[in-house]
């Protein structure tokens, strides 16, 4: 199982803040946005991850995350020169994926919930496509699942004016190895993009599309506009201050997964500036020794 993070695009809804920097490098409270989707994949036990970036941001991501060695994972990068749609990620990632299935996540989506990593692992299938949905008050802004009385998928509507349900498709997807070929068969939409919905619908046609409705104990935040970015930062700050635990602390996840040893973490800390983030990582190590 491999992972793909989509961190390209122009971030036009956040201009001028994103005119010279990728939105996935903007801070969500105390960490770069990219940390949150990366944390989701790491919590799900995924260690080989491809980050898709724009051409002018690629070096910045490499400077931030490197090859992943300091997190006990392996990171690769590929450039998407134009925002041609989410489905293009599966095409650009073909060499990286080979014959493997993948979990793809949007770089501006934040997922949070107790036991989230374990829940994701339990939904990974041997074949097919699996999507994750969330009840929202504004389903017209998203792709929406239409269900029958048996809670089976009838259709997928892209930003419907009169949605039949309030189940929005989140930016987290599982595809088996056929996802790449299905993506290559997609024709550009009226928006001039290769739509991920078109890939998902191909799985539905062969009865291999399933879904999970994320529970109330899980938060899903889309940080693509100024208001939602501010809300996400507030959410992270409040949760961290009230619990004393950091959300998306990558070193902590790597340590808990036994991908990094105490000595490796301590060496990392010794080369970092003294601040709240690294003080927290240090406390994680201290607690493990008690």
Question: pLDDT of 184-222, one tens digit each?
Answer: 999 998 888 999 999 999 999 999 999 999 887 889 998
DSSP string, 210-240: EEEE--TTEEEEE--SHHHHHHHHHHHHHHH
The mean of the pLDDT values for the chain is: 93
pLDDT of residue 18: 86
Cα 138 versus chain centre, distance:
21
pLDDT of residue 119: 76
Dig out the tokens for 37 from the structure: 């989707």
Which letter, b or e, does each residue of 131-168 get, where b requires 16 or more Cβ atoms within 10 Å of its Cβ? bbbbebeebeebbbbebeeeeebeebbeebeebebbbb
pLDDT of residue 204: 95
**Is 70 exceeded by the pLDDT of residue 290?**
no
| Closest-CA residue to 88 (of 197, 196, 209, 11) | 196
Instruction: Work out the angle at residue 133's Cα, subtended by the Cα atoms of residues 131 and 136, and round it to the nearest 5 degrees.
Output: 155
Statement: the pTM of the whole predicted model exceeds 0.85: yes
pLDDT of residue 227: 93
Beta bridge mates, 222: 109
**Is 90 exceeded by the pLDDT of residue 145?**
yes
Between CA 21 and CA 16 the distance in angstroms is: 10
**Is 90 exceeded by the pLDDT of residue 118?**
no
Q: Which of 1-15, 89-103, 222-236 has the lowest mean pLDDT?
A: 1-15
User: What DSSP designation does 131 have?
Assistant: E
Domains of the chain: 2-133+169-259 (3.90.550.10), 262-290 (no CATH)
- Write down the H helix ranges in the chain: 35-43, 58-65, 88-92, 94-97, 116-123, 179-184, 196-205, 226-243, 250-256, 262-270, 276-289
**Is 90 exceeded by the pLDDT of residue 13?**
no
Residues 6+ apart with CB under 8 A from 163: 139, 140, 144, 157
| Closest-CA residue to 175 (of 152, 201, 147, 156) | 201
**Is 80 exceeded by the pLDDT of residue 115?**
no
Question: pLDDT of 249-269, one tens digit each?
Answer: 999 999 999 999 999 999 999
Beta bridge mates, 78: 52
Q: Please state the rounded mean pLDDT for residues 29-45.
A: 97
């Amino acid at each position: 199982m491999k992972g793909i993070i989509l961190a390209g695009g122009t971030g036009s809804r956040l201009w001028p803040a994103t005119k010279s920097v990728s939105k996935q490098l903007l801070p969500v409270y105390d960490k770069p946005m990219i940390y949150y989707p990366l944390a989701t994949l790491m919590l799900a036990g995924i260690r080989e991850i491809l980050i898709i970036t724009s051409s002018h941001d690629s070096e910045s991501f490499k400077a931030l995350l490197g090859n992943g060695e300091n997190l006990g994972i392996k990171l690769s990068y590929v450039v998407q020169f134009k925002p041609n749609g989410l489905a293009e990620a599966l095409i650009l990632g073909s060499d990286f994926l080979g014959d493997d299935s993948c979990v793809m996540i949007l770089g501006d989506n934040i997922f949070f919930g107790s036991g989230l990593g374990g829940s994701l692992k339990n939904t990974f299938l041997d074949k097919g496509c699996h999507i994750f949905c969330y009840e929202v008050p504004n389903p017209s802004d998203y792709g929406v699942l239409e269900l029958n009385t048996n809670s089976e998928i009838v259709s997928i509507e892209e930003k419907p004016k009169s949605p039949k349900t309030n189940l929005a498709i989140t930016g987290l997807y599982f595809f088996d190895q056929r996802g790449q070929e299905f993506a290559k068969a997609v024709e550009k939409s009226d928006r001039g993009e290769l739509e991920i919905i078109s890939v998902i619908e191909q799985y539905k046609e062969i009865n291999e599309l399933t879904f999970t409705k994320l529970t109330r104990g899980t938060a899903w935040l889309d940080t693509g506009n100024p208001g939602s970015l501010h809300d996400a930062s507030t959410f992270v700050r409040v949760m961290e201050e009230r619990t004393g635990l950091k959300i998306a602390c990558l070193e902590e996840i790597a340590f808990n997964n036994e991908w990094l040893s105490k000595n490796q973490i301590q060496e990392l800390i010794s080369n970092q500036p003294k601040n709240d983030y690294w003080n927290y990582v240090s406390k994680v190590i201290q607690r493990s020794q008690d």
